[in-house]
């Protein structure tokens, strides 16, 4: 969520909704009823089946595709500060890579983009 600094939660939600619409446009096997079912399941999952309410929950059959939540705050799940520590470590590593090994940083960024866009590329 730090990537959305300076944006309101409504702006972030619009970006997320637009991304979801794009993903759906790239998936030909979803009809309007399937989309309604998926949205309903996602709404339930986001409210009731995420930490701190439920841990390690997995849908065994027909899992609902994950969508970023505008209100996601991993820090709220662990009050002992471990998430903050991990995020600080990641930030320090990224600064080091960007300042001292920018070619490695650029490759890492490209790999990350490839991972998150691979399922939407048509071959």
Cα–Cα distance measured from residue 86 to residue 84, given in angstroms and rounded to the nearest whole number: 6
**Full domain range(s) for residue 80:** 75-123
49 and 84 fall within a common domain = no
**Span 14-19, mean pLDDT?**
87
Predicted TM-score (pTM) of the model is: 0.45
Comparing 7-11, 47-51, 95-99, 101-105, the range with the smallest average pLDDT is 47-51
**Span 28-51, mean pLDDT?**
77
3 and 49 fall within a common domain = yes
57 and 107 fall within a common domain = no
Residue 54, pLDDT above cutoff 70: no
- Distance linking the first and last C-alpha atoms of the chain: 31
Given a contact cutoff of 8 angstroms between Cβ atoms, the answer to whether 27 and 33 are in contact is no
65 and 88 fall within a common domain = no
The count of domains in the chain is 2
């Amino acid at each position: 969520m730090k990537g959305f600094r300076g944006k309101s939660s409504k702006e972030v939600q619009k970006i997320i909704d637009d991304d979801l619409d794009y993903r759906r446009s790239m998936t030909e096997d979803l009809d309007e009823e399937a989309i309604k079912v998926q949205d309903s399941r996602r709404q339930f999952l986001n409210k009731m089946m995420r930490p701190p309410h439920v841990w390690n929950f997995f849908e065994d059959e027909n899992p609902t595709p994950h969508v970023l939540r505008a209100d996601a705050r991993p820090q709220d799940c662990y009050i002992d500060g471990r998430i903050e520590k991990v995020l600080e470590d990641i930030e320090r590593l990224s600064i080091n890579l960007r300042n001292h090994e920018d070619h490695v940083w650029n490759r890492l960024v490209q790999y990350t983009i490839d991972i998150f866009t691979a399922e939407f590329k048509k071959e």
